[in-house]
Amino acid sequence: MRPTRRTCIAAGAALALTAGLAACSDGGSTDDGGPVTLTMWHGLTGPDGPAFQEVVDAFNDGQDEVTIEAEALPWDSLYQQFLTAATSDDGPDLVAMSASRLPQYAERGVLAPTDDFYADDTYMDTSVLAEGAVQASVYDGVNYGVPLNLGPVLMYWNKAVFEEAGLDPEAPPTTWEEFEEMIPDLTVDEDGDGTPDQYPIAMGDHSTVPVFPSFLWNGGGGVVSDDGTTALLGDAATVETAEHWVNLVREEQITPVGMSGADSDQLFQAELAAITINGPWMTAGLTEAGLDFDVTVPMAGPEGQSILGDVVSMTVSQRLDENETDAAYQFFAYWESVESQATWANGSGFPAIRTDMPEDAVTNEWAAVFGAPEVLENVRPYLTGVPGSGEINEDIFTPALQSALNGTGEVADLFPAAGEEIQAILDGGS
Amino acid sequence: MRFGRTVAGRQARAAWMFLAPGLALLTLFTAWPLLRTAYLSFTEYSLLTPPEWVGLANYRELLGDDQVMNALQNTVIYAVVVTPVTIALALALAMALNAKFFGRGIVRTAVFVPFVVSLAVVSIAFRFLLDPNYGLVTHWLDMVGLAPTQGALAQPGTAMAAVMAVGVWKNVGFYMVMFLAGLQSIPRDLYEAAQLDGAGRLQKFRTVTLPLLSNQTMLVSILAAIASFQVFDQIKVMTNGGPAMSTETLVVMVNRVGINNLEFGYGSAVSVLLLLLILLLSMAQYFYFGRKQVRY
């Protein structure tokens, strides 16, 4: 039978559909030991993005067995899209995510354990990696990730503003007491309307790096205990520390209330605040803006000087087969190599994750500051290994803090009540 | 029923054929999600694993949840303020712009344009306008001594007022156009008759305009109330429910509970609560305005 015109069109359409579907399926992954292509999502959309891609390109060009196709998305979009992608089994093979987010997915079986990567020296000697960064991706005794970056949150100060205030531009506050003595000098109310035109410090209270929780640590308290089992918001030390800082905000107006992280960055960049506490990702923008600034460890509290450290981990989808997992581990090992870590640190300003970097490998001054031994030794991740971390921080802690800062409630009432809600989550309720 | 044998049958078949695409879309995008949400509200569901039936547990939790009560209160406050203000302003604008004056078309367009612009874009623009450091609106308020010290969106006392004002500004043009259409359909001779009877402007408005706009008023009231109860975009972009959850409405809460916390079962229960609220309100409005409908 001769094919009719209609049959030809139908066959062509079917062929096109098949080809289309093939193109939609996961990369070029194979399970026969051949070349493997892995898709990877990450949220490095700032100046750190090109540095990451440079390492990925070097890895892809250096061998022909594994190809990493990295795709950058804003962090919030990444988390929202990954959720639906994971349910349809059509998502990325590898995902970079904040270590504090990881338990949410690990708990539900979306991610595969990466313990094999650390088991022996098959891929690399993992003992050279910063311990805090490795431990950040442990949930329920199982490691679900390999650190992509470690971002210690340090104190930035504007030297020009310090000088204008009659303070030594090379002597930022080293303790809370020193900071409090500087408050009158660093506060400027030009029009005398009672609202400062320049603030001593810029601190966001939502959608930002959790600076307030790090203050609670250094005052002897915290949001949740290190083992993730006990809420600490109702503890006397936490309440006392929170009251201290809330009073500084409400009475002394050390920072505007209600700022997001982006608002806080803008305030510091516009030289309307003398100090801010932030990660290494901010150095490039401030340098470009021509600010006369420097970075040091945050001022110490009466009970210590823990430094908040944000860790982004590279995680593996549970659906990867043995061959693909092996390919992923090859990339992870390459990422953690001295050469790649030097490229990353010099390009992004983030410190290297390896503790054995040769002295001359890192030439970026900010990477050296953020990767200094006294910084890395005191780095403490926030809410890692806690399944309800997002809910605890954003739905309970942040509103309680905002109510206190806005004066719609008192710390002594708000924090213990919030602590009870957090405890219910930690105990497995909701 | 057997179609096609009689004229009525053929007409019915034609009617169903024309209705079919619309019905299919309604079923797919409205009825099915509605039923699915109702089912999920009785389950614990994280999207990543199959739903687990928990009966009325979500509803029991919902009744004792302070966050739900807070979101419900915020939703009601928003709706109770924004709906009547929008309707009153839309009617006033429609009356004013129904009169003939130079540049009427431009003014009508200016009032209507905000409705066409994406709510997300409007919300981002207003975030800048209300910024405490460089916002234009803050600057104006500052000139008359009314600027909130930390910016309108940063304080619980003023954040809700700010999002409500944006909500009214955004939607008033759309309802104004509906009222304008209604005003233009009122026969002029009724006004002339009223004038002959000695009615003043206020009396004409009360006895002719308002009664004959009852259809439009009903439609606008129901649409505006539903839109107020479903407010999401502007709050999500302008405040994300904050500060201290002072602007979190039920829809914003559904988004937070479902997308952020992966509690789709509980989020669905909150959605069903909202659905019932809107249903009750719409029915009440329908019967209220139905009784008041006037035709001359």
Q: Which chain A residues in 223-262 lie under 8 Å from chain B, judged by CB atoms?
A: 256-259
- State the pLDDT at residue B296: 55
Q: What percentage of residues in chain A have a pLDDT greater than 70?
A: 92
Tell me which of A287 and A16 has the higher pLDDT: A287
What is the distance between the alpha carbons of residues A290 and A153, in angstroms, rounded to a whole number? 21
Q: How many CB pairs under 8 A join A and B?
A: 82
- State the pLDDT at residue A3: 43
Candidates B262, B263, B266, B270: best to mutate against A (most CBs of A within 10 A) is B262
- Confirm or reject contact between B155 and chain A (CB < 8 A): yes
CA-to-CA separations, A217 to A257, A391, B44, in angstroms, rounded: 21, 20, 35
- Confirm or reject contact between B243 and chain A (CB < 8 A): yes
Q: Find, among A258, A70, A273, A425, the residue nearest to B262 by Cα.
A: A425
What is the distance between the alpha carbons of residues A163 and A168, in angstroms, rounded to a whole number? 6
What is the distance between the alpha carbons of residues B28 and B24, in angstroms, rounded to a whole number? 6
What is the distance between the alpha carbons of residues A347 and A391, in angstroms, rounded to a whole number? 34
- Flag the least confident range among A8-17, A273-282, A412-421, B208-217: A8-17
- Confirm or reject contact between A319 and chain B (CB < 8 A): no
Assign A402 a pLDDT band (cuts: 50, 70, 90): very high
What is the distance between the alpha carbons of residues A199 and A272, in angstroms, rounded to a whole number? 6
Residue B160 near residue B246 (C-beta atoms within 8 A):
yes
CA-to-CA separations, A423 to A43, A210, B77, in angstroms, rounded: 31, 19, 31
The secondary structure of B176-223 as a DSSP string is: HHHHHHHHHTS-HHHHHHHHHTT--HHHHIIIIIHHHTHHHHHHHHHH
Tell me which of A14 and A347 has the higher pLDDT: A347
Amino acid at B60: R
What is the distance between the alpha carbons of residues A310 and A333, in angstroms, rounded to a whole number? 21
Those residues with Cβ within 8 angstroms of residue A247's Cβ, 6 or more apart along the chain or in another chain? none
The secondary structure of A82-142 as a DSSP string is: HHHHHHTT-S-SEEEEETTTHHHHHTTT-EE--HHHHHSSSS--GGGB-HHHHHTTEETTE
The mean predicted confidence, pLDDT, of chain A is 89
- Under an 8 A CB cutoff, do A430 and B266 touch? yes
- State the pLDDT at residue A428: 81
Q: Over 90: is that where the pLDDT of A87 sits?
A: no
Q: What is the DSSP letter of A337?
A: S
Given the cut 0.90, state whether the ipTM is greater than it. no
Task: Quote the crossing angle between the two packed helices A236-252 and A398-406, to the nearest 10°.
Answer: 40
- Under an 8 A CB cutoff, do A394 and B48 touch? no
Q: Over 90: is that where the pLDDT of A232 sits?
A: yes
> CA of A341, closest CA in chain B: separation in Å?
33
- Confirm or reject contact between B269 and chain A (CB < 8 A): no
What is the distance between the alpha carbons of residues A356 and A130, in angstroms, rounded to a whole number? 9
- Residues in chain B with CB shorter than 8 Å from the CB of A400 are 244
- Residues in chain B with CB shorter than 8 Å from the CB of A108 are 46, 48-49, 262
Task: Quote the crossing angle between the two packed helices B264-292 and B66-98, to the nearest 10°.
Answer: 40
Those residues with Cβ within 8 angstroms of residue B159's Cβ, 6 or more apart along the chain or in another chain? B152, B153, B239, B242, B243, B246, B247
What is the distance between the alpha carbons of residues B170 and B266, in angstroms, rounded to a whole number? 31
Per-residue pLDDT of chain B in tens (296 residues, 90 and over written 9): 555 578 888 999 999 999 999 999 999 999 999 999 999 999 999 887 889 999 999 999 999 999 999 999 999 999 999 999 999 999 999 999 998 889 889 999 999 999 999 888 998 899 889 887 778 888 888 888 776 667 788 888 899 999 999 999 999 999 999 999 999 999 989 999 998 998 888 999 998 999 999 889 989 999 999 999 999 989 999 999 989 999 999 999 999 998 888 899 999 999 999 999 999 988 888 888 777 666 55
Chain A's closest residue to B127, CA to CA, is A263
- State the pLDDT at residue A255: 95
What is the distance between the alpha carbons of residues A102 and A56, in angstroms, rounded to a whole number? 23
- Under an 8 A CB cutoff, do A430 and B61 touch? yes
- State the pLDDT at residue B149: 66
Using the CB atoms, write b or e for B195-209: b if 16+ within 10 Å: eeeebeeeebbeebb
Residue B253 near residue B241 (C-beta atoms within 8 A):
yes
Q: What is the pTM of this model?
A: 0.83
Using the CB atoms, write b or e for B92-130: b if 16+ within 10 Å: ebbeebbeeeeeeeeebeebbebbeeebeebbeebbebb
What is the distance between the alpha carbons of residues A114 and A102, in angstroms, rounded to a whole number? 13
- State the pLDDT at residue A27: 43
What is the distance between the alpha carbons of residues A54 and B199, in angstroms, rounded to a whole number? 81
Tens digits of residue pLDDT in B128-147: 898 877 788 888 888 887 76
- State the pLDDT at residue B251: 96
Tens digits of residue pLDDT in B71-106: 999 999 999 999 999 999 999 999 999 988 898 899
Those residues with Cβ within 8 angstroms of residue A135's Cβ, 6 or more apart along the chain or in another chain? A381, A384
- Residues in chain A with CB shorter than 8 Å from the CB of B47 are 83-84, 87
What is the distance between the alpha carbons of residues A288 and A366, in angstroms, rounded to a whole number? 14
Which of A87, A272, A390 has the CB atom closest to B261's CB atom? A390
- State the pLDDT at residue A268: 94
Assign A13 a pLDDT band (cuts: 50, 70, 90): very low
Q: Which chain A residues in 388-427 lie under 8 Å from chain B, judged by CB atoms?
A: 388, 390-391, 394-395, 398-400, 402-403, 406, 408
- Confirm or reject contact between A77 and chain B (CB < 8 A): no
Q: Over 80: is that where the pLDDT of A430 sits?
A: no
Residue A319 near residue A390 (C-beta atoms within 8 A):
no
Q: Find, among A258, A184, A255, A176, the residue nearest to A219 by Cα.
A: A176
Say how many C-beta atoms besides its own lie within 10 A of residue B219's C-beta. 16
Residue B132 near residue B151 (C-beta atoms within 8 A):
yes
Residues present in chain A in total = 430
Decide the pairing of beta strands A138-139 and A142-143: antiparallel
Tens digits of residue pLDDT in A110-161: 899 999 999 999 999 999 998 889 999 999 999 999 999 999 999 999 999 9
Chain A's closest residue to B244, CA to CA, is A399
Residues B133, B137, B141, B146: what is their CA dihedral angle, to the nearest 10 degrees?
Answer: -80
Amino acid at A286: L
Those residues with Cβ within 8 angstroms of residue B182's Cβ, 6 or more apart along the chain or in another chain? B94, B212, B213, B215, B216
What is the distance between the alpha carbons of residues A137 and A118, in angstroms, rounded to a whole number? 12
Assign A429 a pLDDT band (cuts: 50, 70, 90): low
- State the pLDDT at residue B3: 55
Phi and psi (nearest 5°) for B78?
-60, -50
